[in-house]
Structure 1
Amino acid sequence: MSSGLFFALLAGALVGLQNIFNSKVSERAGSWATTAWVLGMGCLASLVIGLAVEGQGMFVWQHPKPWHWVSGLLGVGVVTCLVQGVRLLGATFAVSIVLTSQLLCALMWDSFGWLGLEQVPFTGKQLLGVLVIIGGVLVFKGRGKQVEEV
């Protein structure tokens, strides 16, 4: 569990940092060029690190399902939407909304057992937790400066 917590915290920090980097690249290159650059560099880095760590074994896949091939396409949407969200809302507010959306979707997928996940019963504690997070985002943004839409 402690390793999982460490990796989850690290992933959150890296996503926040990547959003800032992506928004700076986007200021000079545009949204689609930024998306292509980010995903292209990620592909290259994954290939090099994967070969170094797993060798040829990284190319052995055990019965992939057709929907597994969609993951990279989802990454295009993630990067493009995050770049625009950070540009229009600012990094902190955009990331807080993204994280809230992730939590709501993950809760829904777990509760219904969608996409091959083990079904986890929905509880009142989970609902309360989500409402507290939504309330926190509203309090966070409530008195802050308004970001003008471009």
Structure 2
Amino acid sequence: MQGILFAFLGGACITLQGVINTRISDTIGTWQAVSLTQFVGFLLALCIWVVKRDGHIAQIKKVKPLYLLGGGFGALIIFSEVTAIQHIGVTFTISILLISQLCMAFLIDIKGWFGLIKQKMKLPQFLGITIMIVGVLILSYK
């Protein structure tokens, strides 16, 4: 249950962040908004880490260099989301983001990338994503 609550919170925050970053970018520019957002996120994470003290910074040596790209992906996510919202609106942007995330998750699970155990996808999973895509197409119909 806790996982579901955190997933719901994360999804809500992604949407709120996209809208807020779009407003910021209207004022100062998109890459400036990305930089500001990443910096504020860094400060918040640093404050939480200082309070919680869970983990040791020395362990960073054990992190595979490929995984350090996560922060870079964060910057690209913010830029892409802001740009998309400016062009196609919040609802359509988030719908496409969700489908993109789900498709990437399918690939990662099926291939077992990043050291994860390969998962078998069956007809219900493929039907689910197909229904989502159809839903987005209906949503985008004007």
Q: TM-score, normalized by length of structure 1?
A: 0.90
Size of the aligned set, in residue pairs, is 141
Point out where structure 2 has 5 or more consecutive residues left out of the alignment.
Answer: none
- % identical aligned pairs: 31
Contact in 2 for aligned 1:51/1:58 (Cα 8 Å): no
How far apart, in 1, do the equivalents of 2:77 and 2:38 lie? Answer: 10
Query: Which residue of structure 1 aligns with residue 50 of structure 2?
Result: 51
Taking only aligned residues, the RMSD between alpha carbons, in angstroms, comes to 1.2
Shift of 1:9: 0.6
C-alpha contact (below 8 Å) 1:16/1:95 kept by paired residues: yes
3-state secondary structure, aligned to 1:61: helix
Give deviations 1:69-127, integer Å, cap 9, x for gaps: 11111111111111101111101110110111000110111011011111101211111
Task: Provide the C-alpha distance between the structure 2 equivalents of 1:119 and 1:101, rounded to a whole number of angstroms.
Answer: 19
* 1:98-137 to 2 correspondences below 5 Å: 98-137=97-136
- 1:60, CA displacement in angstroms? 3.8
Per-residue CA distance 1:19-76 (angstroms, 9 max, x = gap): 1101100110111000000001001110011111116x44142621111211111111
User: Structure 2 matches for 1:73-112, cutoff 5 A?
Assistant: 73-112=72-111
Do the aligned residues in 2 keep the contact of 1:26 with 1:33 (CA within 8 Å)? Answer: yes
What CA distance in whole angstroms lies between the structure 2 residues aligned with 1:80 and 1:142?
25
Residues 16-31 of structure 1 aligned to structure 2 (within 5 Å)? 16-31=15-30
